Amino acid sequence: MSHTKVTGDTPPQAELDAFRELQQLAYRAASDVAATLEPGVTEREAARRVREHLEGHGVQDWFHTPFAWFGDRTAFRGFRVPLQFFPSRRRLEEGMPFILDCAPVRDGYVADIGYSGYLGENPLHDRLMDDLRAHRDLIVERVRAGDTLQSVYRAVDALIRDQGYDNRHQVYPGRVIAHQVGKVRSRLPRAVVAGFGVRSLQTLVGDLVVERMHHRSPLWADGDISAHPATPGMWAVEPHIGFRDIGVKFEEILVVTEDDAHWLDDDLPHVRRWDSRTRGGEPPAPAPPVSSPSPTTEVTR
């Protein structure tokens, strides 16, 4: 098996391009479907639309089939068991946030993306999306600096706390903020079990075993097993922040090389959104005006 090569492997440029192309396709599917969502649509229906959209574009297999979360399910409120991640009959209402998350596989290449949106208008959701940008910057900077995954995770946690939000990726199985991805090389038949493609799972489990032998993990969390710098390769990173009933996330691939790290692609909906809001004269991360009777004044000595 090829698992001995899991570590220390940055894919060649041609492969990176193929990964990038699939990630673009997945984001396009999510944003196209998001534009069609109307009040009354269920999570299952939304997930089905993403699935059909991608299967119409040559996707043959799934790392995991599309997820859709509406309302307070975007923040995973009340999630106790993994089954609750699966699309439900929750109906979208005017003013509800939603997240579409899918991980298609095409010709062995994998994408894993998360798309956050909102039906109607909501300044609070805008605020969370704006604040998510700092996490994207923080993660790549810390990985570049050679910090351990554990300490990057904790830095993200601290930033979430400072921002006044709470960490929702800790609800994912294993509390993971990211997991390693690579080309699927499996001879198993294509099948989806409990939402996850068996070929991708086999690859992931194989990685788990090999990495465990190196006292590392392809799953990036805050445990001691993540107390090592990012291994070269590709990581699907998904910081997920929550505030009250709203959760927002992005998920995209971070490319880690021996001495550097960069996001696979910057031409993504959330990045374009941040750029346009900065250019549009709106403040990038800092405060919108607090609707306070008077500006903050200092009362102390």
CB of 45 or CB of 157, closer to another protein: 157
What is the rounded distance in angstroms from the CA atom of residue 232 to the CA atom of residue 222?
A: 19
Residue 73 is classified by DSSP as G
Q: CA angle, 103 as apex, 244 and 133 as ends, to 5°?
A: 45
DSSP string covering 248-278, please?
Answer: EE-BEEEEE-SS-EEES-S-SHHHHHHHHHH
Shortest Cβ distance from residue 164 to another protein (Å)?
5
13 touches another protein (CB under 8 A): no
Residue 42 is classified by DSSP as B
Query: Mask 32-61, x = binds another protein (CB under 8 A)?
Result: ------------------------------
CB of 12 or CB of 164, closer to another protein: 164
For residues 140 and 230, the answer to whether their CB atoms sit within 8 Å is no
Binding residues for another protein restricted to 163-222, rule: CB under 8 A: 163-164, 166
122 touches another protein (CB under 8 A): yes
Count of CA atoms in the C-beta half-sphere (13 A) of 183: 15
CB of 19 or CB of 118, closer to another protein: 118
Instruction: Indicate which single residue of 124, 145, 188, 209 sits in contact with another protein (rule: CB under 8 A).
Output: 124
291 touches another protein (CB under 8 A): yes
259 touches another protein (CB under 8 A): no
Mark the segment that binds another protein (CB under 8 A) among 11-19, 94-102, 133-141, 187-195.
Answer: 94-102
For residues 76 and 248, the answer to whether their CB atoms sit within 8 Å is no
Binding residues for another protein restricted to 66-85, rule: CB under 8 A: 71-72
What is the rounded distance in angstroms from the CA atom of residue 70 to the CA atom of residue 119?
A: 10
Amino acid at 262: H
Binding site for another protein (CB under 8 A): 71-72, 93-97, 122-124, 127, 161-164, 166, 243-246, 287-288, 290-294, 296-301
